[in-house]
């Protein structure tokens, strides 16, 4: 009996780039076993060494999580679909009733929001709720751009933005809050200027800080809704935990290449992010947008959906995405909805929580804090050291583990074996030579170097910073991406 399995973006390099495959099986366990037999490299991403499913991977039959069915013994029939949903780098009780009598709309505001006012579900009362509401955006980037634009245009009274980055030219393909003239400028300054030009009636509060366990609770406390526009796992878990501890709804969105996810996590009435993903994937396993890319219009779609959910929460209208996860595939233009359930064993919102305060989230996600470039000379090499050795004519072999389309953009003339193909092709390499492995930034090549060492290669080093560091510090004339 053939069952259709939906393959997420991070695993498609290991299924010949297919987004769906069909394998036989009468239970979920049989389907997954046959899938990993057919595509061997998928196994290490789905299963831990003890044979159990990894905690950052969820399996759904149709729209139900198998953790709440019969787990891997869940039966499947030919009309069912199995979805692999890995993690990819609420209503809300906004207290507007008590302040509604104090909120006034000027004649200019009545005219500005007239298309809202004539909708019965919004009306004058709803527009006053929007004006009384306070929303905190985490990030002024790809997701934060459409989110900020539409919340401001809608008349949300106070919008806070947390960001500490500057505008880079690579942002402009998708971060529509910023323009070419803003390159090198603080994202917060650029965002504030753009949003105030759209609606001067909205208060824009900016926080040019790195969100941390030390400041999150204080920053979140004054806001009604928190909207997560982050692109890394430590901040995502931090946002979740702070929202749970404070009883705030968390409007979640994530994007990668052509895929997006949206949900609303409100532990008071449904699951939180940890219920869905109890633990993060290992560092480097899931590519960031900088490593994996993102279609420029995708954050516009997902960020706008986050704005929609935020406005619904404030108005108290419709059915918010509490207990539901929406997946969007841009290439096929398909939306799929999966049910989420509260995990009674969740360490922060379960029946007997063990987390009562914010923790070290970089340590939790297995990420080392780096304040300066300190390398392990046994396993790493800097671009300056590689350049010096190449100039001396040392007998070293350089291996590029990026994808072919990246190699076309810029390369060092090295042999190209993409990371996903390395387990099948490492025999092409000479284990007697010293091998320097590089990718774009050093993350994928670190995994490749570790793989080679485990397979008998004794002299392997990872190029810290990858070809991006080489283009920045050795050959500035090379293109960067």
Give catalytic residues, as residue numbers. Answer: 289, 439
- Rounded to whole angstroms, how far apart are CA atoms 400 and 436? 9
Residues 6+ apart with CB under 8 A from 210: 164
What's the DSSP call for residue 281? P
Q: Is 322 helix (H, G, I), strand (E, B) or coil?
A: strand
21 CB neighbour count, 10 Å cutoff = 20
Three-state secondary structure call for residue 42: helix
Strands 225-228 and 250-256: parallel
Give the DSSP H or E segment for 449: helix 443-454
In the block, residue with structure tokens 């006034």: 104
Tokens 């810290």 found at:
464
Residue 121: Cβ within 10 Å count = 11
> Residue 113 gets which letter from DSSP?
T
Sign of CA dihedral 423, 429, 434, 440: negative
Residue 442 CB neighbours (<10 A): 21
Distances in whole angstroms, Cα of residue 273 to Cα of each of 61, 217, 276, 350: 20, 17, 5, 12
DSSP code, position 282:
P
Residue 258 falls in which region: left (phi positive, over 0), alpha (psi -120 to 50) or beta: alpha
CA distance 400 to 402: 6
| CB-based contact 465:374 (threshold 8 Å) | no
CA distance 267 to 202: 29
Q: How many CB atoms lie within 10 A of CB 2?
A: 11
* Longest CA span, the chain: 79
Helix (H) or strand (E) run with residue 207 in it: strand 203-207
Q: How far apart are CA 97 and CA 3, in angstroms?
A: 51
CA dihedral 360, 364, 366, 368 (to 10 degrees): 0
Report the alpha-carbon distance of residue 280 to residue 362 in Å, rounded: 11
């Amino acid at each position: 009996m053939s069952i259709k399995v939906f393959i997420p973006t991070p695993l498609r390099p290991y299924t010949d780039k297919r987004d769906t495959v069909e394998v036989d099986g009468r239970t979920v366990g049989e389907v997954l076993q046959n899938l990993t037999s057919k595509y061997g490299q998928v196994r290490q991403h789905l299963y831990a060494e003890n044979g159990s499913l990894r905690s950052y991977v969820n399996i759904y039959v149709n729209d139900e999580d198998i953790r709440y069915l019969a787990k891997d013994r869940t039966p499947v029939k030919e009309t069912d679909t199995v979805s692999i949903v890995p993690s990819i780098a609420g209503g809300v009780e906004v207290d507007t009733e008590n302040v509604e009598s104090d909120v006034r709309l000027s004649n200019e505001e009545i005219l500005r929001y007239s298309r809202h006012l004539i909708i019965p579900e919004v009306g004058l009362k709803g527009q006053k709720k929007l004006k009384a509401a306070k929303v905190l955006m985490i990030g002024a980037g790809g997701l934060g751009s459409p989110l900020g634009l539409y919340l401001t245009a809608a008349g949300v009274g106070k919008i806070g933005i947390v960001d500490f980055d500057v505008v880079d030219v690579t942002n402009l393909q998708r971060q529509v809050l910023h323009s070419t003239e803003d390159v090198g400028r603080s994202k917060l300054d650029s965002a504030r200027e753009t949003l105030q030009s759209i609606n001067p009636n909205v208060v824009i509060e900016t926080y040019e800080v790195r969100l941390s366990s030390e400041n999150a609770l204080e920053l979140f406390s004054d806001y009604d809704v928190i909207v997560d526009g982050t692109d890394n796992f430590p901040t995502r878990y931090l946002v979740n935990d702070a929202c749970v501890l404070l009883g705030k709804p968390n409007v979640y969105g994530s994007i990668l290449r052509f895929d997006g996810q949206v949900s609303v996590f409100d532990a008071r009435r449904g699951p939180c992010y940890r219920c869905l993903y109890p633990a993060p994937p290992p560092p480097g396993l899931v590519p960031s947008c900088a490593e994996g890319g993102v279609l420029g219009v995708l954050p516009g779609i997902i960020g706008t959906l986050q704005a929609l959910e935020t406005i619904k929460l404030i108005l108290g209208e419709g059915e918010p995405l509490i207990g539901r996860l929406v997946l969007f595939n841009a290439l096929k233009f398909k939306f799929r909805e999966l049910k989420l359930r509260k995990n009674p064993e969740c360490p922060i919102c379960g029946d007997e929580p063990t987390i009562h305060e914010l923790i070290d989230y970089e340590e939790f996600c297995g990420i080392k804090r780096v304040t300066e470039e300190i390398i392990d000379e046994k396993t790493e090499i800097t671009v300056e050291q590689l350049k010096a050795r190449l100039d001396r004519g040392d007998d070293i072999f350089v291996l590029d583990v990026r994808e072919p389309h990246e190699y076309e953009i810029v390369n060092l003339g090295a042999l190209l074996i993409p990371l996903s193909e390395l387990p099948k092709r490492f025999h092409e390499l000479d284990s007697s030579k010293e091998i320097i492995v590089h990718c774009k930034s050093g993350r994928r090549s670190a995994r490749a170097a570790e793989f080679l060492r485990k397979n008998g290669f004794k002299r392997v080093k990872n190029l810290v910073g990858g070809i991006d560091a080489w283009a920045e510090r050795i050959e500035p004339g090379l293109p960067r991406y």
